A and B are shown apart, each in its own frame.
Chain A
Amino acid sequence: MPDSSSPEVAVIPSNPSMRTSEDWWAIYCGAFFLVVAFLAVWFTKPSDLAEKLGTKGFKLTSPIAKFLAVPGDWTSDPAEAFVKPAGVDKKGKPVPARNAFPGMLGAFLSIGAVFAFATQIRGVGAAAFLKAYPILFLLAVLSFILAGQSLIKAYNLEYALWALFVGLLICNTVGTPAWLKPAVATEFYIKTGLVLLGAEVLMSRLIALGAPGVFISWVCTPITLVATYIFGQRILKMESRSLNLVISADMSVCGVSAAIATAAACKAKKEELSLAIGLSLAFTVGMMVVMPGFIKAVKMDETIAGAWIGGTIDSTGAVAVAGELVGNQALEVATTVKMIQNILIGVIAFAVSFYWVTFVERDPHGRRLGIGEIWRRFPRFIIGFFLASVIFSILFSTLTGGPELIDAMTKGTTVPLRSWLFCLAFVSIGLETNFRELAPYFKGGKPLTLYVVGQTLNLCLTLAMAWLMFRVVFPQGDATP
């Protein structure tokens, strides 16, 4: 995400070196974490895994899961984010004790060691990175604590927002000290986090899903994305194509995750990513509360309601809340539709990268780009992201106990690692952003108009498609899908 405030798109004639390029190192670092995470589960799996699969109570976990964690939630005592005694919930179910310190230390050491090595080889210097990294990590811890307060969490005000806030606060008051800047590597953290996210983009899951869900997600989402982007360019005449695209993607696909992936794919500016995430979170909170109320008021069928919620609310967690508020059936349909959209991130990021290097960053003289030129300009980390998705999708569907092995690997290692990486990235964005740089993006209210118009189209199209799928094409006798 370049710092330039110019709305014009730069032609990137780069031919990244495999030894020093940030994109390649994002792939190396991501691949290292993924290989270690997978082997840890693979070599500790029970020898009789095949027999144990499907037996009640069996759950595969990663042996390194306890060494990778983020701070948890708390209500009145922030210390509970780190250590919480075992207890029971209101229904008498046991709640396990929490000690996040080993997990935080593990994340601190593993990310620090890998990134220090990478910065040294890339010629940036490990010493300067290691001097700044602990402070950046502490700022990320503070962001997780702010985001972990129960009420903040309950309204979907996630850590990306608080990480930005913490960084912005420092940058716009005392200024970001020069000694901290070697660890402020926004794009490197984002790209590595995206390669890790690739292992969770499991195409194989789509095979087990029915046609209605795939239609709702894979037809409505691209139509909304493209229509919103065209509306921004042709009607609103937005100066920044990348801002137009990032807002269109986070609104039509799945909020923050899609915004991060698309922003990296189209080389959006850091301020544009911040603005898109802010818009998405603000609307998500409102839709999470209003949609279930409206659905109940009009007595909408739970299956259609679930599909509508899953296809329109940006954030995955907020989709689960809204679905559960309507009912169990709506929760199942909503989360499944959202999962299909989540998986769409891989294809969207790849398509956006291709569109960007082919049509947006085209030769100023209008010369058509050849395959070699497209390859030369194509962001390499997107290939890492896509490859991780393909490889883990194959492992997921071909290994004995593949789903359990991949689930154990992602939940135990890649989810907390990418959460730390994205949090470090958002703190870094804040530390590099002056409030005054954000002001021009609000000019004329175009981003807000774009979001509102795009979301309105999304709401209408998804509702129509849900009705068409569940009432006309695949009609069901009762409310059960």
Chain B
Amino acid sequence: MNRGRIALAAWSAAVAVGWLVILPWLSSLPGQKAYIDWLRESRIDPSARYYTEVEAMEPILERLNAELTGRTATAASSGRTPLQP
């Protein structure tokens, strides 16, 4: 087995330990678990790259759509569009 294959095997083992043992353990710590649960309840994906990927924006977008088309917004958060003077 050459050095490259040994290095790949070692890195793969480190990743497996990190993702299958260490990260699940860290995620189960009360503070981190509460943070993860809060994100799920708030429907926020912190790794979203674009506004179309943020579920928490749906009521805001629904209201913007309604204002754009002159319809009545059905979103729970009806009211003025954010940032309107």
Contact = CB atoms under 8 A, between A and B. Distances in A.
Nearest to B68: A208
A153 B81 contact: no
A45 to B, nearest CB: 15
Contacts of A91: 41
A169 interface: yes
A75 interface: yes
Interface string B13-43: 0010001100110111000100111011110
Nearest to A328: B77
Contact of A335 (B8, B56, B67, B84): B56
Given A208-B68, A333-B82, A336-B82, A321 B19 contact: no
Contacts of A76: 24, 27-28
Nearest to B48: A317
A8 B63 CA distance: 49
Given A153-B47, A288-B46, A342-B51, A210 B81 contact: yes
Contacts of A200: 50-52
B42 A324 contact: yes
Nearest to A321: B46
A481 B82 contact: yes
A335 B53 contact: no
Contacts of A53: 69, 71
Contact of B56 (A216, A320, A473): A320
A208 B49 contact: no
A317 B82 contact: no
A149 B83 contact: no
Interface residues of A, number: 79
Nearest to B39: A154
Given A75-B36, A213-B82, A90 B41 contact: yes
Contact of A415 (B7, B53, B65): B53
B66 to A, nearest CB: 7
Contacts of A155: 46
Contacts of A294: none
A354 interface: no
Contacts of B57: 320, 335, 339
Contacts of B39: 154, 321
Nearest to B45: A317
Given A317-B46, A339-B57, A210 B27 contact: no
- Which applies to chain B's interface (DSSP): helix, strand, loop or mixed? helix
Interface stretch (A32-40, A170-178, A221-229, A355-363): A170-178
B8 A157 contact: no
B44 A204 contact: no
Given A209-B81, A210-B81, A403-B65, A89 B41 contact: yes
B49 A174 contact: no
A89 B23 contact: no
B54 A335 contact: yes
Interface in A195-223: 197, 200, 204-205, 207-214, 216
A18 B2 CA distance: 46
A195 B37 CA distance: 35
Contact of B53 (A213, A317, A332): A317
B51 A397 contact: no
A215 to B, nearest CB: 9
B41 A338 contact: no
B23 A335 contact: no
Contacts of B64: 205, 208-209
A411 interface: yes
Given A151-B36, A321-B46, A316 B51 contact: yes
Given A156-B47, A317-B53, A89 B40 contact: yes
Contacts of A208: 64-65, 67-68, 81
B50 A316 contact: yes
Nearest to B9: A173
A266 interface: no
Nearest to B32: A151
8 contacts: A145-B19, A174-B4, A210-B84, A402-B69, A403-B69, A404-B65, A407-B61, A473-B85
Please name the 5 residue pairs, one residue from A and one from B, whose CB atoms are nearest each other, closest first.
A213-B83, A317-B48, A210-B84, A474-B85, A403-B65
